[in-house]
Amino acid sequence: MAATLRDCVYGQAVADALGVPYEFRARDTFRCEGMAGYGSHHQPTGTWSDDTSMTLAVCDSYRELGRIDIDDIRARFVAWYREGAYTVDGLFDIGGATARALERGRGCDGPRDNGNGSLMRTVPLAFTRATDDEVRAVSAITHAHRTSTEACVRMVRVARSLVSGEPLESAVPDFDALLATPRERVGSGGYVLDTYRAALWCLVTTGSYEECALAAVNLGDDTDTTAAVAGALAGIVYGMEGIPEGWLSALRGRDVIEACLF
């Protein structure tokens, strides 16, 4: 059965929630084995972060309008930032570039503005009719440097290949090189290209949704975002049925998610 947006978004939200308690913690100073609460952001078990909130804003815009509308998406991001839209209990985390971009009304475009804050909301665009330029424009709402916009384009291409049923070997660029990369050489900080590569590494070196999501969180550092991107991809590959039932049951805000799907 072909993957659906629901598979992808739940894959992202669950993995995001797995990673939230461990954000900023160094690799191998902790061990994530399942859903936990509190930790870095003092959030209850099963709470997803800004990664999923911004993804839901993009999805909700497309659900309502049936097209990519940058002004509408930006307005929804601002509603999240200022009013707590698309959250369970309100905003508790936001990247610096994202906050600056929403404050000034244009994306950050310097070479030092290449955090993963647009990549984290990118995978579900594979289920829209967005062109490469529209994917770039969605990224550029907050992250407008070419390094970020092109990473988002490449990620959507990978996701679309996976949605179409291509095997990982052909869907993922540099599959063999990633498969041969040792864990200690996989970066897991906030740099967009590190997150892009880490998410794909987690996908190609594991054999289930559960293994992929846990591998991503246990890389440490930017645990929620690495896991959110990897989890979105794993949701496409393994479907919602591949997500452990206990993790799905613990996920908060499912009504918020369901309202944004198309």
Q: Contact 80/54 with Cβ under 8 angstroms?
A: yes
CA atoms of 213 and 83, how far apart (whole Å): 30
Which has the closest alpha carbon to 126: 168, 107, 98, 154? 154
> pLDDT per residue over 16-26, tens digit each?
999 999 999 99
Average pLDDT score, the chain: 97
> pLDDT per residue over 25-69, tens digit each?
999 999 999 999 999 999 999 999 999 999 999 999 999 999 999
What are all long-range contacts of 258-261, with beta carbons under 8 Å and residues at least 24 apart?
Answer: 259/60, 260/9, 260/56, 260/57, 260/59, 260/60, 260/63, 260/86, 261/5, 261/6, 261/9, 261/59, 261/63
DSSP string spanning the chain? ----HHHHHHHHHHHHHHHGGGTTPPTTS----S---BGGGTBPTT---HHHHHHHHHHHHHHHHSS--HHHHHHHHHHHHHH-TT-SS------HHHHHHHHHTS-B-STT--BSTTGGGTGGGGGS---HHHHHHHHHTTB-SHHHHHHHHHHHHHHHHHHTT--HHHHSTTHHHHHT--GGG---SSBHHHHHHHHHHHHHT-SSHHHHHHHHHTT-SSHHHHHHHHHHHHHHHH-GGGS-HHHHHH---HHHHHTT--
CA atoms of 82 and 149, how far apart (whole Å): 25
CA atoms of 103 and 78, how far apart (whole Å): 8
Position 115 confidence tier, pLDDT thresholds 50, 70, 90: very high
Position 153 confidence tier, pLDDT thresholds 50, 70, 90: very high
| CATH fold label, 5-258 | ADP-ribosylglycohydrolase fold (1.10.4080)
Instruction: Sketch the domain layout of the chain as residue ranges.
Output: 5-258
pLDDT above 90: residue 221 = yes
> pLDDT per residue over 189-215, tens digit each?
999 999 999 999 999 999 999 999 999
Q: Contact 35/46 with Cβ under 8 angstroms?
A: yes
